[in-house]
Chains A and B, each alone.
Chain A
Amino acid sequence: MDALFSFVFRFRAFLLFFALEIISISLIINNNRQQSAVFFNTSNYYAAQILKASNQFNDYFHLGDVNKSLAAENALLRKQFLQEKQRNFGANVRPVEDATIAGKYQVSLAKVINSTTKNTRNYVTIEKGTLDGILPDMGVISPNGVVGRVKSCTPHLSLVSSALNIDQPISAQIKSNKYVSYVLWDGKSPQFAKFKDVTKAIKVVVGDTIVTSGFNDFFPEGTMIGKVEKVVDDKSATFHDITVRLSTDFNSLSYVYVIGNKLKLELDTLTQQLDPQKEKEKDKEKEEKDRKEKIEKEKKNKEKKEKEKLKEIEKEKEKSKPKDSTILKNNP
């Protein structure tokens, strides 16, 4: 035992170093997962207060750009609104819309207080949280296009893992021919991403618009992602090598919209019902629960029996005791 203690004492610095490294690597692994509630990041309340102060100063330099992009978006919305008005003008019969499906997206505006673009996994911190109805896995878009997906929330702030993340593909399609694949960032320039796994049978032209597909429930179908910048065809490769110029300028994000899908819960339950593997897992979980419950019940029964036995023994003892006392009383 003494030898062990002296060994630990001699190598205490190395052992501590080793332990600290293990802790930090487990932190990294935990942090890189898509779904992880980590509280030590910029969505932490105190960290956010400091960043806000820093951001308020930077805001003044971006005011012009923000104004321009908001005005452009306003103009676009007004144009669409007028077009819609014209279309319905004079029409007595209108298509009946299902209100729940037409209004399934809930949009909330949020201010960006921190945004990185130069790491391999980039995050945007926004100033809205669970108290404003923001939940993990909601989509986030800017006036120009896709931004990312909410990763974790605190009551007043949320952390968004942006499209500039080498681990996060976004389901996308070519606007003109609806060919569906996915966009993934390659970790190099914050302006470009790759449109992956497009077979050579599909014709892709420089300038084609890439938008989100309807196969994900984070973004509304047809949200702008970017335009094809370059198509390189290697003879040995089976797929096109397509570079997309992202329409969102991640360096000057100031305001973003968080998109909540009200029907997401229903969709999830539907897909879960349809997914046989998950059902099997659920069945397994149930079986395990049942087993555990049985074991616990048996344990409890045993304990009860033991207690009863103990009580009986005690009773017997008590029965024998009074006799003794009576004998004692009788004796004198």
Chain B
Amino acid sequence: MNNAAIISQIISFLGYLFFQVFFARHLILFDVAFCFVYIGFLISFNPEISRISFLLIAFAFGFSTDVFYNTLGVHTAACVLLAYLRPYLIELMTEKSNRDTVIEVSIRRMGFVWYSTYAGILLFVHHFLLFVLEASAASLFFITIQKIVASFILTSIFLIIFQYLLFPIRKR
């Protein structure tokens, strides 16, 4: 990564965090659907980064989100898991010959179907660990499942909207 790419990643780190803390944090529908759109930062991160540094970035990102949610460790654990699985998922979902061409993870570059499968898997893993850790009580099983499914739907809608806003598809 060159300097310009690093600066743009830092700006998107702060941008996603800002959006999450000021707006998405208050957006809770029907007491169960949370909007955790901040993980768009990790999902569409530059795929050329090394695994080690991506894990550390995810840790820092989850930690700073946790500070505002008063749930120290919960978002951190979920983000680190997401960051660990992401490179394997990208490898799995691209053919060997095309692997070098993955330089941007977005709908514009990879197509809607590819992106939604990829983001959906990561999103579900993240939300599952997040809500299980947050509840940490077996008596809350059904409400936790409700929260996972509802938040999954709401967050994926927001992620797709973000995709079209941040990576606009140019008409030829």
List A residues at the B interface (Cβ < 8 Å): 12-14, 16-17, 20-21, 23-32, 38, 40-42, 44, 47, 50-51, 54, 58, 116, 118-121, 123, 125, 159, 166, 186-190
Contact = CB atoms under 8 A, between A and B. Distances in A.
Contacts of B62: 24
B81 A119 contact: no
Interface of B: 21-22, 26, 28, 31, 34, 51-52, 55-56, 59, 62-63, 66-74, 76-77, 80-81, 83-84, 133-137, 139-140, 143
Given A14-B84, A28-B74, A51-B68, 7 more contacts: A24-B59, A29-B73, A31-B72, A40-B72, A120-B140, A188-B31, A189-B31
B136 A17 contact: no
A26 B52 CA distance: 21
Nearest to B81: A21
Contacts of A12: 52
Given A20-B80, A187-B137, A119 B68 contact: no
A26 B133 CA distance: 12
B29 to A, nearest CB: 10
Contacts of B21: 50-51, 54
Nearest to B74: A28
B134 A120 contact: yes
Contacts of A21: 77, 80-81
A118 B72 CA distance: 16
Contacts of B67: 40-42, 44, 47
19 contacts: A13-B51, A17-B55, A20-B55, A20-B76, A20-B80, A26-B73, A27-B66, A28-B77, A30-B72, A32-B136, A40-B66, A41-B72, A118-B28, A119-B70, A120-B136, A121-B71, A123-B70, A187-B139, A190-B31
The 5 A-B residue pairs with the shortest CB-CB distance in the complex, in nearest-first order: A27-B73, A28-B73, A24-B77, A24-B76, A13-B51
B36 to A, nearest CB: 12
Contacts of B81: 17, 21
A58 B23 CA distance: 11
**Chain B interface, >50% SS class:** helix
Contacts of A17: 55, 80-81, 83-84
A40 B82 CA distance: 22
B137 A25 contact: no
A39 to B, nearest CB: 10
A54 B137 CA distance: 32
A27 B72 contact: yes
B73 A187 contact: no
Of listed B56, B77, B139, residue having the most chain A CB within 10 A: B77
A165 to B, nearest CB: 11
Given A16-B52, A26-B73, A118-B34, A166 B80 contact: no
Contacts of A120: 134-137, 140
B137 A166 contact: yes
A25 B77 contact: yes
Contacts of B69: 116, 119
A189 B63 CA distance: 27
A32 B135 CA distance: 11
A123 B73 CA distance: 15
Contacts of B137: 120, 166, 187
B55 A16 contact: yes
B47 to A, nearest CB: 15
Contacts of A188: 31, 143
B143 A187 contact: yes
Given A12-B52, A13-B55, A189-B31, A31 B71 contact: yes
Nearest to B63: A40
Contacts of A27: 66, 72-73, 76
Contacts of B71: 28, 31, 119, 121
Contacts of A123: 70
B61 to A, nearest CB: 12
